[in-house]
Amino acid sequence: MTANDKTEFAKVWATVANLYGKNLSAQLLTLTFEVLKPYSLKQIKSGLSTHIRSTHSGAFFPKPADIIQYISGNAEQKAEHAWSDVVTAIRRTGAWGRPQFKDPLIGKILSRFGDWKQLCHTHQTQLESKKRSFIQHYTFLSENLPESIESKVVDGLINSQLNGQSVQTKHIPLSNGNDHLVQIKQSTSETKH
């Protein structure tokens, strides 16, 4: 929200306070506005509407944190969604590519897991433990890091080779359509000093 939204926000928040039989002080309204300022008025209205309709929390006057949770979802839901983005990138990009994540926290966490290539080669049965670890890290970091964090670039094999990192040679059998096996050999690049 911007300063131009303050009057409209005050009307909306006062209406909700009236619904719950609460009196608002100017200081409380200003504090609430400042806390919710990173969100649009439309998001706040949507969060308030969801809160009011909730059979659990809707019985009580909302705090700013309640509205933020409705807007953003809780940290574990966000972590599950982020892991889904990782699995999609593994399938689409693979070990050779450089995945692009909208959420900068994903790259930061993946850098703690080792490298992208290893994650892509993780067996499906081991991905479940990686998922649990990822969700724990994501949940903790999303609740304890500042709002803006620097995005971490995750390199695939091609970028590693271009950057001079050593890549192991691997023979990969492929069918060329005539049922003949073709061997592809990955070249190893050495870091030159």
Asked if 189 contacts 164 with a C-beta cutoff of 8 angstroms, the reply is: yes
User: Model confidence at 177, in pLDDT bands (50, 70, 90)?
Assistant: very low
Instruction: Return d(Cα 8, Cα 150) in angstroms, integer.
Output: 34
| Chain position carrying tokens 């982020």 | 82
Q: What share of the chain is helix, strand, coil (3-state, %, to 5)?
A: 60, 5, 35
Instruction: Return d(Cα 145, Cα 142) in angstroms, integer.
Output: 6
What is the tens place of the pLDDT at every residue in 128-163? 999 999 999 998 888 776 554 554 555 444 445 445
Burial of 174 (0-12, 13-18, 19+ CB in 10 A): exposed
What is the tens place of the pLDDT at every residue in 53-108? 998 889 999 999 999 988 887 778 889 999 999 999 999 988 888 888 988 889 88
Beta strands in the chain (DSSP E): 171-175, 181-185
Residues 6+ apart with CB under 8 A from 140: none
Share of the chain above pLDDT 70, in %: 75
